[in-house]
Amino acid sequence: MAVLGVAVYLAVVRRSSIEHSLSRLGRAQPGWIAVAVVAELVSLVCYAALVRVLLQLGAVTVPFRALFSLTVIGIAMINSIPGGVAISTFYWYEQLRRYSVQRSVAAFALLVSSVLGIVTLVLLSACGLAVGSHGFGSQARLPVLAVAGAIVIAAVLGRRRFVPAALWAVRHLSGPDTSSEQPVPANHLVLLLVLGFLNWLFDAAVLFAALAAMGQTISVRGVVVAYTLGQLVSAIPILPGGGGTIEATMSAGLVLAGGTGAAVIAAVLLYRIVSAWALVPLGWGLWRTMPNAHLAQLERAAVPA
């Protein structure tokens, strides 16, 4: 409730501060902007690699360039059109099918990537909350750490069962397009968790770099908690790109964590430019130039025993 109250306050009462923040963007340190751009690029690569691994579990490999393009196109859809999350998911599915990916494997990859996104965001939050025992977000520390600990234990104990069981279920529910069974290496679950975690970590690094570019020094816990709150809000499909709710929530969290109003808002806007808004024209450009997937040569992935 405190974060919501501060968000409303920033949006309604401190409108002049927001306008001042826009003018401060021109004074951002270029070096940190470059760091933010690189971090976002690595984050996108990690997500595309995660989907590639999931597809390899279904014994197919889609060209990495196509998966990277689909990642950027999906972000563009989410941040520019109503219902972008659903449309992006449908577009991903249709493109994977054009690459001759079976229905079961395509559904499996999209479903598990979403679940991994939630799980690894919890792990990132736990890492941030583990730094110190007092301050912003301290009330959520023990519950989040407990959930994260349960996830790690489950991943270690069930690494030989979870992914193979999920893939088996999807294949057998899919009906006639089921392919021959392929063994799934036990270390795939750990690899998927690592890629999912790195996807969030490098995206959060964009926010850290944006804050540094605006001369703001905020505790790791404060930044991670504010980042997590913003990502949770982004999951609510109200308006394209959250309709300003993501920016307001992150700004509110960072102000509560000790940041300076105008500089924090400028940093959040810079984060959103690098991680979302700048990808909108790029994504739609890629959408227009995407090759005809059905003409691509499909590689058969060699899945080790």
Write the pLDDT tens digit of every residue in 188-241: 778 898 999 999 999 999 999 999 999 888 888 889 989 998 898 887 766 676
Q: Is the pLDDT of residue 85 over 80?
A: yes
Per-residue pLDDT, 187 = 64
CA–CA separation, 185 vs 33, rounded Å? 39
68 versus 154: the higher-pLDDT residue is: 68
Which pTM value belongs to this model? 0.81
Q: Which secondary-structure segment (H or E) carries 58? A: none
For the chain, the first-to-last Cα distance in angstroms comes to: 51
In the structure, what pLDDT confidence band is assigned to residue 166 with cuts at 50, 70 and 90? low
Per-residue pLDDT, 113 = 93
14 phi/psi in degrees, rounded to 5: -100, 40
288 versus 181: the higher-pLDDT residue is: 288
Mean pLDDT, range 18-27, rounded to an integer: 63
Q: Which secondary-structure segment (H or E) carries 256? A: helix 245-256
In the structure, what pLDDT confidence band is assigned to residue 301 with cuts at 50, 70 and 90? very low
CA–CA separation, 299 vs 281, rounded Å? 30
How many H-runs (helices) and E-runs (strands) does the chain carry?
13, 2
Q: Is the pLDDT of residue 299 over 50?
A: no
Mean pLDDT, range 8-34, rounded to an integer: 65
Per-residue pLDDT, 289 = 84
**Residue 277: how many CB atoms within 10 A of its CB?**
15
In the structure, what pLDDT confidence band is assigned to residue 13 with cuts at 50, 70 and 90? very low
Per-residue pLDDT, 138 = 61
Per-residue pLDDT, 133 = 54
Mean pLDDT, range 249-275, rounded to an integer: 89
Q: Assign residue 303 a region (left: φ > 0; alpha: ψ between -120 and 50; beta: otherwise).
A: beta
Per-residue pLDDT, 234 = 81
Cα dihedral across residues 8, 12, 14, 19: positive or negative: positive
In the structure, what pLDDT confidence band is assigned to residue 283 with cuts at 50, 70 and 90? very high
CA–CA separation, 230 vs 137, rounded Å? 14
Q: Is the pLDDT of residue 4 over 70?
A: no
Mean pLDDT, range 162-190, rounded to an integer: 60
Average pLDDT, the chain: 79
Contacts of 226 (CB under 8 A, 6+ apart): 207, 249, 250, 252, 253, 254, 256, 257
**Residue 244: how many CB atoms within 10 A of its CB?**
13
Q: What is the dihedral of CA 180, 108, 83, 281, to 10 degrees?
A: -80
